[in-house]
Amino acid sequence: MKTIAGDKYSISILYVEDEQSIREGYTKALHRLCDKLYIAQNGKEGLELYKEYKPDIIISDIKMPVMNGIEMVRAIREINPDECCIIFTTAHSDSSYLFEALELQVNGYLLKPVQKNILKSKIENLSNIIIKEKINLEQKIQIEEQKTILQNIIDTEQNLLLVTDFQDVLFANSAFLESFQVKNVEEFNQKCERLLNIFLPLPNYLHQGLTNKNETFYDLIKKTDESKRSVTLISTHGNPKAYHINISQIRHKNRDSYLLSLTDITKMNIEKIHTEKKAYYDGLTGVYNRHKFNELFDFELKRVKRHNHNTALVILDIDHFKNFNDLYGHLIGDEVLILISAMMQKSIRNTDVFARWGGEEFIILLPQTDIEIAQDIIENLRVIIENTQHKSAGKVTASFGITQLVSTDSIQSAFKRCDKALYQAKENGRNRVATLTTKKQKLRQKVCH
């Protein structure tokens, strides 16, 4: 661990001793052990030298004039509580200082006359520890600097770059984080329970539903002709964007991971996307329409049947919506629908599906969400709507019906249960959440408000 020629260690020592003969006798020996040696005659001088040079080890007598060793070390600990090793030297008659020295958590306590071989051994042991810590610190600093440089290089890339195991995102560049309006990958993983859920199941684009049994998404991409390796995501403005996807398999923390690069090809596919948008999006509100929801519902129901995933279905009905049209006209009614749609799109999770079912009714699908969590999510949405004010129509509220999909469900049976729950919410005064689930062929009901 010695880093300079001879027997010296690349460390610095502050030696504080008021007796000149002792000080001169040990100075030469200490010079042979360290790179830099600072000498002080009392605690006050020692403190000033410490402030200027920040030595690695302090060897100090305890009983000294002007400022004793205990007072000096106490002042040093206030400056840097843990960054300095302390060795006290003292005569037998100074044993009354022992408890004070121990309270300062010193690294050594040697009785005078100090044997030079014992002092040397103590310094060597501390030096090895100090140098190891310095090397570890330097390595950490170098790693952080390299990571910062690499991150800065990657963040200049306009493509969306990420490393994933297809469950969580392990690393992402700023372009990816900004596209999902999150600060870091931890926040993204909290919002999106599974990465593959961000790829929309649109025709002619790759998505999770196209994988065969025992096939990974990586396998699907690799077997697809490179010219057709395209996916779609929802942008921050709620519009679908098309990306060409490149993938490489890598090793990350002793597990298989994948580097994905997504290149925006939306402009190249704008006509196709507009056509798909007309087919799958509601013309008034811009959210999914019934046709698109049925397609996504069918996909999620298959997952429930195959993997027994918990998935919740929700119907939202704007309370007394007819009054908005009758009192303020259909244009104001349309504005209310647009307002609620925009607010809901902003409030739901990335993995949730929100669509207009018809009239003032909307539908929500919460994949991989059990009924208790679904109730909490929807209750929060109910409160958000309750606090919504339209500039002309005033306060808006909504009623919600929730059910959980089961493996025996069809779209008809699931919607029948959800409708019953919504009816119960309305019967109990509206502006509330009602839940209806099946359990052993018996209905269980809960109303929340």
Q: Work out the average pLDDT over 243-270.
A: 81
- Say how many residues make up the chain: 449
96-107 pLDDT, tens digit each: 666 676 677 777
- What's residue 150's pLDDT? 64
CB 56 within 8 A of CB 84: yes
125 by DSSP, 3-state: which?
A: helix
Beta bridge partners of 317: 361, 399
Phi, psi of 20 (to 5 degrees): -60, -45
d(CA 284, CA 303): 31
> 304 near 409, Cβ under 8 Å?
yes
**Euclidean distance between CA atoms 364 and 355, whole angstroms:** 7
Phi then psi for residue 404, to 5 deg, are: -110, 135
| Phi and psi at residue 355, to the nearest 5° | -145, 155
pLDDT band at 110 (very low <50, low <70, confident <90, very high): confident
Alpha helices (runs of H) in 244-329, residue ranges in sequence order: 270-280, 290-307, 321-328
Q: Cβ of 83: how many Cβ atoms within 10 Å?
A: 12
pLDDT band for position 120 (cuts 50, 70, 90):
confident
Write out the catalytic residue numbers.
360
Q: What pLDDT does residue 417 have?
A: 93
pTM of the model: 0.45
Dihedral of alpha carbons 236, 242, 243, 249, sign: positive
Q: Which two tokens stand for residue 271?
A: 């006509």
Least confident of 37-41, 42-46, 201-205, 233-237: 233-237
- Cis omega (within 30 of 0) for bond into 113: yes
Check pLDDT > 60 for residue 442.
no
Across 1-10, 14-23, 186-195, 246-255, least confident range: 1-10
Between 74 and 277, where is the model more confident? 74
Higher pLDDT, 191 or 448: 191
pLDDT score of 307 more than 80:
no
Of the pLDDT bands very low, low, confident and very high (cuts 50, 70, 90), residue 441 is very low
Check residue 423 and give its pLDDT.
94
- ∠ CA 293-313-335, nearest 5°, is 60
Per-residue model confidence (pLDDT) at position 447: 47
The answer, yes or no, to whether residue 109 has pLDDT greater than 50, is: yes
How confident is the model at residue 148, as a pLDDT? 67
Structure tokens at 319: 């309370």
Q: Which residue has the higher pLDDT, 284 or 279?
A: 284
pLDDT in tens, 379-407: 999 999 999 888 888 899 999 999 999 98
Q: pLDDT digits over 421-431, tens only?
A: 999 999 999 99
Looking at residue 443, its pLDDT comes to 43
Range among 118-132, 144-158, 227-241 rated most confident: 118-132
- Other beta carbons less than 10 A from residue 255's beta carbon: 8
Do residues 316 and 285 lie in contact, with contact meaning Cβ atoms separated by under 8 Å?
no
Q: pLDDT averaged over the chain? A: 83
Q: Is 108 helix (H, G, I), strand (E, B) or coil?
A: strand
Whether the pLDDT of residue 1 is over 80: the answer is no
In this prediction, residue 374 has a pLDDT band, given cuts at 50, 70 and 90, of very high
- Residue among 198, 202, 204 nearest 280 (CA): 202
At residue 47, does pLDDT exceed 70? yes
Q: What mean pLDDT comes out for the span 7-18?
A: 83
Strands 85-90 and 108-111: parallel
pLDDT tens-digit profile of 189-203? 887 777 888 888 877
- Identify the pLDDT of residue 40: 93
Residue 318 has a pLDDT of: 94
Section 332-340 average pLDDT: 91
Please state the rounded mean pLDDT for residues 269-294: 78
Contact 120, 29 (CB under 8 A): yes
Domains parsed from the chain with CATH numbers: 9-137 (3.40.50.2300), 157-279 (3.30.450.20), 281-449 (3.30.70.270)
Angle at 180 between CA 177 and CA 184, to 5 degrees: 35
Which residues fall within 8 angstroms of residue 157, CB to CB, at 6 or more apart? 173, 175
pLDDT value at 135 more than 90: no
